[in-house]
Each structure stands twice: as C-alpha cells, then as structure tokens.
Structure 1
Amino acid sequence: MKHKKLAKELGLSDVYAIATGAMFSSGFFLLPGLAAAETGPSVVLAYLVSGIIVLPTMFSVAELATALPRSGGTYYIIDRSLGPMLGTIGGFGSWLALVLKSAFALIGMGAYIAIFYDVNILFVAVFLTIVFGILNIVGAKETTWLQKILVAALVTIMFFYIVQGVFEIFSMDIRVITENQFKPFFTDGVFGFFATVGMVFVSYAGLTKVASIAEEVKNPDRNIPLGMFLAIGTAVIVYVVGVYIMVALLEPNAFREDLTPVATAGEVFLDWLPEPGGLILVVVAAVAAFASTGNAGIMSASRYPMAMARDKLINKNFANIGKLGTPHWSVVGTVALMLFFLLAFNVAEVAKLASAFQLLLFGLLNLAVIVMRESRIQEYDPGFKSPWYPWVQIAGIILSIILIFEMGVLSILFTVAVTVASIIWYKYYAQDKVERQGAIFHVHARLGENKDQGLENEMRGILREKGLRQEDPYEELVSRADVLDFSPETDYDTIFNKAAESLAEKLNITIEELRKLFMNSADNSAIQIAEGVALNHARLKEDISPELVLVRIREGYSKRKLKKDAESDQKLHSIIFFVSSEANTGQHLRILAHIAEMVGSKNFVERWCKAQNEEELREILLRDERFIKITLNPDDSTQQYIGKMIKEISFPGQSLITIIRRGGDIKIPHGITVLQEGDELSIIGEVEDIDELKKMLKE
C-alpha cells in the first residue's frame, strides 16, 4: 500500500531532538582546537557571533516551514518561492550536503569508539549507516524515539560537563586565567577572526534541517519554531561555555593542535571521578552527538529525493511511501549515497567543501521569505512570522555572501559545480515535466506578468490540512450564526436579502453595501465547495468579528438560480454566507478551509437535511472534540447547574455556553441567565477543557 502523505507523528520533543542532534558533532568535539589555531582565545566569541548570525536564517526557516509544512524542507521552500530550477539546485545541493555531513559524523563516531576499542573506523561508519538506514525505514516515530534518547544523553552529559568546568574555573584565579589564557585575544587580527566565524558557523547549520520533516510534525505552527528556538538556545550555551572552558583550562599551543579537546579538558576537572570515568562520560557524549547527527541526517536527507520525486524532478519511485509509512526508496537511495562517499572518498575533506553550498542555501532561504511576502499570495499563512522584516532577511543574505567568500576557493568551486550539474539535470530531464513557476511569478504579476495559479491551489490545500489555530473563533462563529430555512421555489434575491438582513444588523452596515460587497466580484460569487453546498464569502475593510449565516433548502435548490451559466443543474441543500475583516486575511482563509472540510465530510448533506432544528444544524458544523451538548437533569451530575446563574458556574478552562435550548425555543446565554431543569446547553472549549468537562459529568 502506498500512502500519499507521511503521518503526523512528531511532537515538540521530536523537533527539538532532531534540530539539536543535527547541530552537535564535529562542531564541538573536533573543531574548537582547529578554530583556535586560526584566531586564538577569540574562538569563544566566534562561536557566539556564529550563533547570532544564524538567527536570520532560523527566523526565515521557522516562518517558511510553518507556512509550507512539507517534506523536502529547503528544496520545497526554494522551489515554491523561487521556481523549480532553483528548487532543483536546492534539492540536490541540500541532499548532497546533508549526506556528506551525516557520513562525516559517523566517521567521527567511529573515531571516538576507537579510543576504547581497536576497531576499523570506516567499518564502524559503514555498519552504523546501514543500521540507521534500516531504522529510518521502520518508521519516523521509532527513529525519533532513538533520537530523543541520544539527545537526552548528550544534553545531560554536556550540562554536567559545563557545570563541573565552570566550578573548576571559579575555584581558580579568574584574573590569572584571563592574563595567561586569553591574551592576546585575537592572534590573527580581525580578518582571522571572521575567517574563524565562517569556519564554526556551519556548526549551527543543522538547525534548519528540521524543515525537511515539517510534514510529519503535529501542530507545526507551534512545534517547529519553538523546537528550533529551544535547540539554538541549547547549542549556543553548550558551544560558548564549553569552548570557554577549553580555552581557560588547556595549554594554548596544545589546545590548538588537539583533535579531542572536549576529552582533554574533561580530564582536567573530572579527575575526581573513578578512572577513567571522566573520559568515558565524554566519549559517551561524543558518540551520542555523532550518532544523533548521523541518524537525524539520514531522516532529513531522505525527505529531499521524496519531495523532488513528488514534483517530477527525479524518478517517481522515490516518492513511494511503503507499508511502514516511510519513504523507503528515498531512505535506501540516501544510505547508498552515504556508503558510496564513505568507501570512495575522504569524507572529511569532501564534507568541508559542502559548507559554502550550505551558506548559499541560507541566502536563498532568506530571499524566499521576501519573495513569499511580496507575492501577496493570500494563502501564504505562516504560523510564525519573522520579526523585523525585511531587514532580518537582507542581513541574512548579506552575511551568507560574506561568509561564502571566507570558505576558500575549493568550497566555492564545489558549489559552482553542484549548481551547474543541477541546472543541466533540470534542463534535460525535468523542465518538460513541470508546469509550476513559484511565488516569484506573483511578484512579477504585480509588475504585469503572470501568476502561478497552481501554487495558490496547493497552498490552499496546506491551509486545510493545517486546520484552525487556537485563536480562530470558529466555534463561537458557528454557535451564534443565524439559520434560515427556505423552500426550493424561493428566488435567490429573497434568500440573499434575508441573509443580508441578519448580517447587516450584526455588522452595522446596510444591505446594499453587503450586496455590493458580495455580488460585484467574481471571486465573491456563490461557489460550490462540496456536494450540495455553496459558499458566498466577502471581507470588509473595517475591523469586525467574523459572522456566518447558514441557509438550508431541504428539498434542494437549483444551481442555475444562483448562476445561470452553471454547467449542471445539481441540487444545493446549503448556502453559507461568511463575512470577515480584511485585517485578518489568514484567519478568513483558515475558516473557509475548515468550513470546506466540514461540509465535505461523509453524509454531510443527509445529516444537514435531517436536522430537526437550528441547534442540530449548528452542531453538524462544529468540531466534535471541541463541543459538547448536555441536558440539565436533577437525577445526574448536571443537577449542580440547575437554578444557578451562568456567571456563578465554573467550567474547565475557557469553556463557554453558547446556546440554550429551552422548551423548543433558543435562548442566547447571558451572565444573569438562570439555568432550569430540562435546558439543553451547547458548550464549546479547547479539546482538553471539553475532555475534562466530560470526565466531571461522568463522576
């Protein structure tokens, strides 16, 4: 069985584990001594500056990944924003860079294991590549379960390491340490320092790889940015404080030649542990770091060919989802490429060459935010918006360009070679297979060129999948909606006028203003959104609360009464009128998408026509998990509410009584409304609040 989409199984802890695990390996356990050889004690500042410099790209990726939560991360984002040719470059380049980084991490893992055991490092790396590949085929949840264990072990040991190191430094004379270990602060001037910043910057590059598994993340609007912020915070603390400890405690010349500085520094202040306890702790942390980078790398890298295959840029088989719910051919292809590099090249040298390409991708990601924002695509609805737009993105682009030129000629040539090869592949294999053009065409449209309508449709589908946000007042909107019943003989003007009367009263505008708003634009004419259901929506310039009117025609209403040129005379049983504010475009589109999802559910028309009253009609459009209806009965737990005013009742969380049905009449609840025996209460709230209320009523 093939699945079109990957299951959403990953939560905040999974995002944090993947982002954190992708950052820790050679950047901390190997690089500090080599970086110190370039700039001296200022290597501590270089790690801090690098952590700050990565923030623009982190903000950009967090915005883009919440707006476009699809597998393929960097590839998918660049493709949809800048077009498929640049997307091909981003896809192949990201895949290659991450494969090399992951292979290099497993070489490093083998090297640390070799401290205690006489093993062949290459054999260990090959074996682990196959093991992690099999685990990634088994399932994303199983992969991230291991990832969380590895990251938990790494972070726990590293914070223990840092605390012990800081205590050691405070037990010494800080003035003497500063005099002996931190002077001169810059050993090779400003240029040497910035060259070092470019060198250690790639230590944070793994942070953005979490975007490649965005499709599998539950509640991406919250979990992706929060997971990334927590990961970068962890990384900056461990890198900066950890490297400070190394500089403070190790002899400068020896430190600058040390390939295992974490272990060497640990031997200085962990000597109170039973021999060789300190070394074992450091080796365990290093192994966990390299393993988490390798494991997360395979998982993230495999999503690039899958996403590219979906878009016909490479063979379609890479898009197949196997019986275990994972892209098995993409994982196999990724593992095969890793094994090829491990067996055929010096991975450490080739991996360094990919650094400049990573910086090129960072620049393109910052540009992508500018393009998406300036495209003015209404469906572009990120759950997180980058602060200080566009200055943050401009800074990210400029910094990426500066750092690329610090990476050396060979790295730049490698980037050019991958770019040229990707363009050739696109021109001769993929160009005739794709029709999309990216959001940049929407920027062109503002200058008189064409739009990529397919992208709008695709992003509309993403909105529907993401669902409503916590702040969207959907339940309240449905609960207070007026419900109108009409016979099939009624003309549309009568239906519209009745709906407009209801809306005009609530919105404090005239019926004619509403008619003009609804009818003058082709986009705002009534359109069929599901079998038997049409929707008429509009937006006001004023800042208003959204309002709905629900119309039912039990026997069915001819589509040609709405639109004379309708292709068929299919019967409509529901016409929904929806008005909201232009100030909340994203919310308007999310509510539209959710209405479309609800009316498109199985047996909607049948249930709609059979509903006995207004309240039942509203309930059909409400989300079951955020809605409950109770009848007050003196013989069960609801008797506690009888005879009380609503303001005297305390429901869990922010749960609200929206409608009271009493003896066949509908009552709008107020704080002083006294509840009576037999009242039917419709209550809405957050999922956890409704669950708690259900438990209370069962007691």
Structure 2
Amino acid sequence: MADPIKHKRLKKELRLLDVYAIATGATLSAGFFLLPGLAAQQAGPALILAYAIAALPLFPAMFSILELATAMPRAGGVYYFLDRALGPAWGTIGGLGTWLALILKVAFALVGMGAYIALYMPELHIVPVAVITALALGGLSLFGAGKGGRLQILLVIGLLVLLVVFFGAGGMQLQPAHFEGFLASGVDAILSTAGLVYISYVGVTKVASLSEEVKDPERNLPRGVILALTTAVGVYLVGTTIIVGLVPQAELQGSLTPVAVAADYALGETGKLLLSIAALLAFISVANAGMMSASRYPLAMSRDHLLPSVFRRLGRFGSPTNAILVTLLVLVATIVFFDPVKIAKLASAFQLLMFALVCAAVIVMRESRIDSYDPGYKSPFYPWMQIAGIVFPMILIVEMGTVSIVFSLALILVSVVWYLSYGKPRVARTGAIFHVFERLGHLRYQGLDTELRGILKEKGLRDDDPFDEILLRSQVIDLEEECSFEAALTIAAHKLEKVIPLTSDEIVEQIMVGTRIGATPVTRGVALPHFRSTAISQSEMVLMRARNGVRMARYNPQTLEEEGSQRVKALFFLVSPDSNPSQHLRILARIAERVDEESFADQWLGAQQRNALKEALLQSDRFLLLCLDDETPAHELIGRPLYDVVFGEGCLVAFLTRRGKTFVPNGRTLLLEGDRLTVIGDETALNDIRRRYQPDGATCSTEQSLEE
C-alpha cells in the first residue's frame, strides 16, 4: 500500500478575473437559456420564486467549498476535500461521481445549444456540432488552464454584455398581467421546481477543482466565486422576471428557447438573433469550464493511487494530458451514444449529496483540530451554516423523485466497487475524521497533518503575518566552537528568557520534549526547534549560526531513545502564542521554504555581519538592498534625513550599514554616501523603488565585517 507522494504541481496561471469567468461561465447556461420554459410548466409565474429558493442551499456549500479550497488548494476539488476529511472511500465516491456528473453537464450544454441553433439552421444535426466543439475545447485544455481561462473571459464578457442589453430593453416592457396567479401552482410544485433548477447554480463551485492552478488562492478564490454567484443570482432573478413579464404563459411553458422568445418580444428579430448568440456563448462557456474542471479529477485521484498512474502525467504545457484525453473520450461517447438532456437531470441529486458531504467535511476538519488546517477563508456561522447545508439538499433530493435517487445510488455503488477492488489495496490513508476519533480514544492519520504542513509551505505567509517584524527584532548568536544541541539550546534559552515570561529552564524543557518526540524539523543542515505557550503574547525568535556545527541527537519518537546524531549549522528557535497555531506553522513553513533554496547555505555561512544573517531569511521579493552612490540615481538621497525620504506605503528601512557597522536607523538619521539600506515592504512598492533607484539592476554587496 502507498501513501501520497510528492508530485509535480500544476502551473499557477489563473488570476481573479479567470476565477470569476470560469465560475460565472460554468453557471449561466442551460439554467437560464433552457430551463425557464420547463420550470414554467410546473410552477407558472412562480418559477421566479423557485429560482430564488434553489439558490439558498448553494450558499452553505459555497462557503464550505471556499474554506476547504483555501486550506487545501489542490486539483480535484470535491474529491480531494472528501478524501482528506472522510477518507479515501468517500473520496472515491466524490471523485468518480462528480467527474461523471461534470461530463454529463458538459454534454448537456453542448447538445442543449442545438435548440438555439435550430432556430436558424433547423437542418443542422447537433451531435456532430457538439462533438466538434468538444474536441476543440479538449484540444485547448491541453495547452494549460491559462489558455482556457483567457477564452472563458472573452466568452463571459460577450455573454454579459448581450444580457445587459436584453435586460435594459425587456425591463421597460413588462406586462403586469403575466404575474397574476403567481402562487396558484402551490408550495409543492414550487419546491419541486426549485429542485429542478438547482442544477443551474452548481457550476459556480466547480472552479474549486482548479484551485491548485489559482494564483494567491486565499484571495482570488473567495472573491471570484462570491462575485460569480452574485452575478448568477442576479442574472437568474432579473432574467426570469423579464421572461415571465414578456412571454405569455401559454407560449412560455415547455419552450426550449425561452430567452430567444422573450428577446423577440423586447427587441424583435435582431434581439432574438443576439440572444441566440448569447446562448451559444453560454453553452460553450459552461462546456469549457466543465472540461477544465472535470479533467482534474482523474489527475487528483491518480496522485493518490485511486486511479492508474497514467492519469497524473503532465504534458509539455504542464496540463494533465491523459486525464484530459480520457475525459474528452467519455464526453464524446456520451454525446454520441446517449441522450445527455435526460441523463444530466438525473445527476442533480448526486451533486446535492456531494454538497451535503462537503458541508460535513468542514465540520470534520474543524473538529479534528489539526493545527495545520489553515483556511484563508472561513465559512461564517459555523456550524449552523454547515448543518443547513446538509439538511436543505436532502429535502430537495426527496422532492426530485425516485429515478434521480436511484441514479445517484448507482453512481455510489460503482464508485464503492472501484474503491474496494482497485483503490483500497493501494492506499494506507485515512481522513481527518480519524483525528476526531482520536479525541475519543481511537486512531488518527499522521500523514494528513504532514500533507497539510506541506500545503502551508507552498501557500506561504499571509499579508498580515508579522514574519519580518519577528525577524527584525530577533536575537542573533554566532557560535565559533562545536558544541552539543543541549549546550546551544541553553545559550538560546538565556536570550529568550529576556523577552518572554518563561525561565530558561522552562524553555529548555519545552524544546527538548519536542525534539525527543520528533517535533523539531531538521533539513539541509538546519534545525527549527520551536514550541507554543499560553504565557506569551507575540512570537519571538533567536537565530543561531554554528560555523563548526551543533551535534543533534536523533530520537525514535515511539521509544524516545537516541538513534544516532546529525550536525547542523543553522538553528532557528521560535516561540509563539498558543492562541494562533496556524500562524506559528506558517512562520516555520516560511523558514523551511527559504532554507530549501540553493542560495541559502552560501549566504548564511558567508555572511560577515549579524544583520546579514537576518537578511538571509528575508523573502527575496519582500526586501532589497539599496546603496547610496554618487554614480547612481540613489545619489539624490545623500545628505537627507531618513524622515524626509518616502519609499512608499508599507516600506521600512530595517537596517543601515555604514563603514562595516549595521544599526537600526531612526527618522533623524542622516543618509551618507556609501550607506547601504535594507528596505523591507510590499513587493509592488519595492519594485517601484528598484525602478527609481536601481534602473540598471545594480545591487549591493553583502560582504561586511562581523559586528561584535
């Protein structure tokens, strides 16, 4: 059996606009351009209310998916979340089932656009057109998510512009008589219709399966998805109101082109043509977004050994080539051999079940109390939001009827059979639910905590993490003689006891306990002894360089017996408040990320000045060295007091090095020729300083004499 191993990650190519376009484009298609006519058959004018009710169960699912996606931005979306929370059996059900449901949704969109094509080319067969479109979108996906994202932006912009024109013209011609008998169909019919049109909204969350490819997912995923859902709800409610207000019920009910019919009333034949074009843009948009999202499920499951390894191979452009090809093959087969319009409706109940499970996954992850579970966005109103997200879908599933439920059970059965026959013998992994069980006296899966720590390292620091401040006030120790870890720890503890309310003996005991149980990371000749305490209010750190090495014993974490030793030349002693464990781990992850870089060892061991040791840990994109020289544009700063120099909001001159000595300047410090400034701050502001004072890319030398 195998645990997940490190795999090549997908390129981060998707920005906020890409996320918004993918989420919006995955939502505005059949739900708006096809379903209003069918919904009118059941609910009459109250189809507007049905669309409003249908959106309610999505909010808990959306908030839950955003929390999980910002904590675990990995390909696979629902699969990955369920696998890590509930275990690989549920992950297999979520992965295979959602993959097939997405393919059905894409097929439904490609075949569904035939109704609008038939308005102008009734002799054209939709199946060949759908297949050609699928092949084109599949081919585009092979070039990476960035290319698909660019196309998505163009499609969504075109769609929204045409809809705004339609809404503006139609909103001024509504017929009040069309809204008479608004609730005549009854509550049951309205709820049943809500279950029918619920599928209209679910696409907004599919971008979560692409979260690994999103730049700054903690910021861009929540903003993009929430903006997309706001757009979708607005379009559905305003759009259905206009459709009902323009088209008589007798003509609307059963229509497969309700938007074109309404546009004809509002704008005549030209409007009908424009909105038919909008419908085609919408269908292609949802197919493109669905194609990208669906192909990431085989990739993610293959990484975890639940599907053959062939699906995790990346192609020349960094895309999961084989996963895309098999998704495309199944999609084309569905279009050619089945009726996607009928089958896709059956998948709605399964997607509702997945959303309920995602809400349960948030409860499990929170109650597992894994320190490294660190979402950048937390769902509001926990746990009531999640409880509602479990209950509401179940009500809608019951309303959808026996056939949809049986179809969902069939998907679950197929997934379980696959897991038992293929996946279970190959994985030795459990979900976070075992961490909940551990609190009740059962087992836990330590590998999940390790995996989440790796994700923390990849995500990096948050903007409000005080890493630079902690580093700037940290104390530096430079050891010349070889010594034991215990001796080095004692020296560091005496430094720390001056800034935290713990004695040196208490500090030594805390760190030694962590070292014996394997909680002190050691990598590439660097050790990170650390602990958290309720006695302190802010993080503190001691940096120690040991040119001749510190001998560290290796302990068996089960027997606590010594098993050999290792030599380290850099030690970072970190203590943090117990109230913020995830920030503590992010700081450790940032240090680990830096020491893994090839340049670290040379810069650390070659530093001739204590503050140069601090500079060795600073993020390269968060600081710069600026030399004041008469031959450079920075000469204009010479002779000015520091308070008179404006580098940009958020920038700070951390150190000033003058004639081999480094100190922390104040506002009255007069800048002289030959000074070297260490400036920290926001990447954008630092780039502006580089443009102003280092146009030729010149940098400062870090060679300085050792400060006593």
- Bin the TM-score by the shorter chain: over 0.9
Partner AA of 2:253 in structure 1: R
- Counterpart of 2:186 in structure 1 is 189
CA distance in 1, matches of 2:590, 2:100: 39
Q: What per-residue deviation string (whole Å, max 9, x for no partner) do you get for residues 362-399 of structure 1? A: 10000000000001111101110001100000000000
Using structure 1 for the length normalisation, give the TM-score.
0.94
Q: Secondary structure at the match of 1:168?
A: coil
* The one of 465, 468, 471 aligned to 2:464: 471
- Tell me, yes or no, if structure 1 residue 13 matches structure 2 residue 17: yes
* The one of 495, 510, 523 aligned to 2:503: 510
| CA positional deviation for 1:497 | 3.3
CA change 1:545–1:512 in 2 (3 A) is: same
- Counterpart of 1:90 in structure 2 is 94
Matched residue count: 686
Q: Is the 8 A contact 1:660 1:667 kept in 2?
A: yes
| CA positional deviation for 1:426 | 1.1
Q: Secondary structure at the match of 2:499?
A: helix
- Aligned alpha-carbon RMSD (Å): 2.1
| CA positional deviation for 1:615 | 2.1
- Tell me, yes or no, if structure 1 residue 596 matches structure 2 residue 600: no
Output aligned runs, 1:38-187, within 5 Å: 38-117=42-121, 118-169=123-174, 177-178=175-176, 180-187=177-184
- Counterpart of 2:233 in structure 1 is 236
Q: Is the 8 A contact 1:492 1:561 kept in 2?
A: no
Q: Percent identity?
A: 45
CA distance in 2, matches of 1:633, 1:317: 57
| CA positional deviation for 1:608 | 1.6
CA distance in 2, matches of 1:658, 1:604: 20
Q: Secondary structure at the match of 1:374?
A: helix
- Counterpart of 1:367 in structure 2 is 360
- Tell me, yes or no, if structure 1 residue 655 matches structure 2 residue 651: yes
Q: Secondary structure at the match of 1:199?
A: helix
- Tell me, yes or no, if structure 1 residue 678 matches structure 2 residue 674: yes
CA distance in 2, matches of 1:407, 1:562: 58
Partner AA of 2:106 in structure 1: S
- Counterpart of 2:664 in structure 1 is 668
CA distance in 2, matches of 1:198, 1:26: 15
Partner AA of 1:424 in structure 2: V
- Counterpart of 1:412 in structure 2 is 405
| CA positional deviation for 1:637 | 3.1
| CA positional deviation for 1:521 | 3.9
Partner AA of 1:233 in structure 2: T
- Tell me, yes or no, if structure 1 residue 383 matches structure 2 residue 371: no
- Counterpart of 1:26 in structure 2 is 30
- Counterpart of 1:462 in structure 2 is 455
CA distance in 1, matches of 2:346, 2:402: 9
CA change 1:502–1:526 in 2 (3 A) is: farther
Q: Is the 8 A contact 2:474 2:543 kept in 1?
A: yes
Output aligned runs, 1:164-313, within 5 Å: 164-169=169-174, 177-178=175-176, 180-271=177-268, 276-313=269-306
CA change 1:650–1:473 in 2 (3 A) is: same
CA change 1:508–1:632 in 2 (3 A) is: farther
Q: What per-residue deviation string (whole Å, max 9, x for no partner) do you get for residues 398-419 of structure 1? A: 0011011011110000011111
Q: Is the 8 A contact 1:246 1:265 kept in 2?
A: yes
Q: Secondary structure at the match of 1:625?
A: coil
Q: Which moved more, 1:636-645 or 1:686-695?
A: 636-645
CA distance in 2, matches of 1:450, 1:528: 24
Q: Secondary structure at the match of 1:186?
A: coil
Q: What per-residue deviation string (whole Å, max 9, x for no partner) do you get for residues 477-499 of structure 1? A: 22332211112344545432332
CA distance in 2, matches of 1:183, 1:341: 42
CA distance in 1, matches of 2:323, 2:679: 47
Q: Is the 8 A contact 1:518 1:537 kept in 2?
A: yes
Output aligned runs, 1:400-439, within 5 Å: 400-439=393-432
Q: Is the 8 A contact 1:29 1:262 kept in 2?
A: yes
| CA positional deviation for 1:106 | 0.3
| CA positional deviation for 1:565 | 6.0
Q: Is the 8 A contact 2:511 2:529 kept in 1?
A: yes
| CA positional deviation for 1:524 | 7.7
| CA positional deviation for 1:236 | 0.8
* The one of 596, 604, 609 aligned to 2:605: 609
CA distance in 2, matches of 1:88, 1:409: 24
- Counterpart of 1:173 in structure 2 is none
Partner AA of 1:421 in structure 2: V
CA distance in 2, matches of 1:182, 1:381: 49
Q: What per-residue deviation string (whole Å, max 9, x for no partner) do you get for residues 620-655 of structure 1? A: 111111111123335543344344443332211211
CA distance in 2, matches of 1:520, 1:313: 38
- Tell me, yes or no, if structure 1 residue 529 matches structure 2 residue 526: no
Q: Is the 8 A contact 1:71 1:306 kept in 2?
A: yes
| CA positional deviation for 1:513 | 3.6
Q: Secondary structure at the match of 2:164?
A: helix
Partner AA of 1:692 in structure 2: D
Unmatched 5+ stretches in structure 1: 170-176
| CA positional deviation for 1:569 | 4.1
* The one of 681, 685, 691 aligned to 1:689: 685
CA change 1:311–1:122 in 2 (3 A) is: same
CA distance in 1, matches of 2:171, 2:209: 37
CA distance in 2, matches of 1:365, 1:660: 52
CA distance in 1, matches of 2:484, 2:132: 74
CA distance in 2, matches of 1:472, 1:678: 33
CA change 1:562–1:252 in 2 (3 A) is: closer
Q: Secondary structure at the match of 2:56?
A: helix
Q: Is the 8 A contact 2:112 2:341 kept in 1?
A: no
Partner AA of 1:223 in structure 2: N
Q: Secondary structure at the match of 1:660?
A: strand
| CA positional deviation for 1:198 | 1.1
